[in-house]
Amino acid sequence: MEKKETKQHVVAEAEQENGTLIEDEIERSKVGIMRALCDRQDPSTKEVDDLMIRRFLRARDMDIEKASTLFLKYLAWKKIVLPKGHIPESEIANDLSHNKVCMQGHDKMGRPIVVSFGNRHNPSKGNPEEFKRFVVYTLEKICARMPRGEEKFTAIGDLQGWGYSNCDIRGYLAALSILQDCYPERLGKLYIVHAPYIFMTAWKVVYPFIDTNTKKKIVFVENKKLTATLLEDIDETQLPDIYGGKMPLTPIQDS
């Protein structure tokens, strides 16, 4: 009895210190192997938790070699892009001023809800490098908003009023690369709503660059089924009011 209680106490302490533990033995073993391999090449591996390493493994179908390559690339990227650990809002003032992204509420699984407005992005009036920093800022804010034990977020991509002046293939591909390569397995689901027919021209260009795991998480929602579809995963009290819910939108910089 004493040994069992001691074990439970150790597990409780570990959970308190490191967050949710990995219960699957195969995943736990592969995480340990990958951590050891990566630590030899980049000691900053010690600074990340096991769940992050597992996300990189899952993004590469549990292939340790491929996941390690992606993870080490991420660590090098982070030192360049996030030397202070965050993106100062002063560096992305233009993108923030348009309120392109809002974050409020959580879905029924406890995942933060993010709404992105495609018609508020105008590449001709922006800077590609600032937009990349804005994407990183957004993803960092989302991750910081996640409840303990939750690893994913739900996104709504609203394309109401989207036109060719908003089209930014280079920006879309840059954002996709950052999401998939630096924040793998963070996206839980992406609802694309109010998509105009002309958007499909841009979609056909971007689609081949979306990895298989991400493609499974993307849902195009018909206008007539919009509220009903969103309510399947989001409670009315948490659903943004513009989609028939009761939650007011909050610009991400104010969330």
**pLDDT for position 92:** 97
Query: Which carries the bigger pLDDT value, residue 95 or residue 13?
Result: 95
Tokens of 158: 């609203």
Please determine, for residue 48, whether its predicted confidence score (pLDDT) is greater than 90: yes
Q: What is the mean pLDDT of residues 21-27?
A: 85
Per-residue pLDDT tens over the stretch 173-204 = 999 999 999 999 999 999 999 999 999 999 99
Please determine, for residue 19, whether its predicted confidence score (pLDDT) is greater than 80: no
**pLDDT for position 2:** 44
Please determine, for residue 153, whether its predicted confidence score (pLDDT) is greater than 90: yes
Tokens of 10: 């150790």
CATH code for the domain of 94: 3.40.525.10
- Statement to judge: residues 46 and 131 lie in one domain: no
Judge whether 34 and 68 are in contact, CB under 8 Å. Answer: yes
- Statement to judge: residues 70 and 162 lie in one domain: no
Q: Which of 48, 67, 82 is the last residue of a domain?
A: 82
Q: Closest Cα to residue 232, out of 68, 243, 141, 242?
A: 243
- Statement to judge: residues 133 and 12 lie in one domain: no
Please determine, for residue 46, whether its predicted confidence score (pLDDT) is greater than 80: yes
Q: What is the mean pLDDT of residues 216-236?
A: 97
Q: Which of 18, 49, 82 is the last residue of a domain?
A: 82
Q: Which of 15, 47, 82 is the last residue of a domain?
A: 82
- Statement to judge: residues 151 and 239 lie in one domain: yes
- Statement to judge: residues 239 and 138 lie in one domain: yes
CA-based torsion, 66, 153, 14, 86: positive or negative: positive
pTM, entire model: 0.90
- Statement to judge: residues 221 and 95 lie in one domain: yes
- Statement to judge: residues 173 and 196 lie in one domain: yes
60 backbone dihedrals φ, ψ, rounded to 5°: -120, 35
Judge whether 186 and 144 are in contact, CB under 8 Å. Answer: no
Distance, CA of 163 to CA of 161 (rounded, Å): 6
Q: How confident is the model at residue 20 (pLDDT cuts 50, 70, 90)?
A: low
Residue 235, number of CB atoms within 10 A of its CB: 14
**pLDDT for position 149:** 86
How many distinct structural domains can be found in the chain? Answer: 2
- Statement to judge: residues 200 and 228 lie in one domain: yes
- Statement to judge: residues 52 and 111 lie in one domain: no
What's the whole-number average pLDDT of the chain?
Answer: 92
Structural domain of residue 32, as residue ranges?
1-82
Judge whether 97 and 137 are in contact, CB under 8 Å. Answer: no
- Statement to judge: residues 73 and 58 lie in one domain: yes
Judge whether 108 and 234 are in contact, CB under 8 Å. Answer: yes
Per-residue pLDDT tens over the stretch 27-43 = 999 999 999 999 999 99
